[in-house]
Structure 1
């Protein structure tokens, strides 16, 4: 089975939906957003 199909099937499973919701909650936290921005800024600065 192609990788994309396996990922799609996993995301539609109960465990995949649970992880997706957890990711959304973590992404909406302002502290995590700031951490992600600083991490991206460090990677962009290396070029």
Structure 2
């Protein structure tokens, strides 16, 4: 398991990993995506109660 985490850390430090993080941040700040995420979580919560 530690090897996997080492590989993830190495990827996150790479230029490609940094671009991925920036893209995820931009997507997370988009109000439409926030609404989609809320709807998904609401459905998920209602099914597991």
The interval holding the TM-score normalised by the smaller chain is: over 0.9
The two structures, once aligned, show a CA RMSD in angstroms of 1.0
Mapping of residues 6-25 of structure 1, within 5 Å: 6-25=7-26
Runs of 5+ in structure 1 lacking a partner?
Answer: none
TM-score where L is the length of structure 2:
0.90
For structure 2, the residue ranges without an aligned partner over 5 or more in a row are: none
Larger helix percent: 2
Partner of 1:46: 47
Number of residue equivalences = 47
Structure 2: distance between partners of 1:18 and 1:33:
20
Cα offset, 1:2, TM superposition: 1.0
Aligned to 1:30: 31
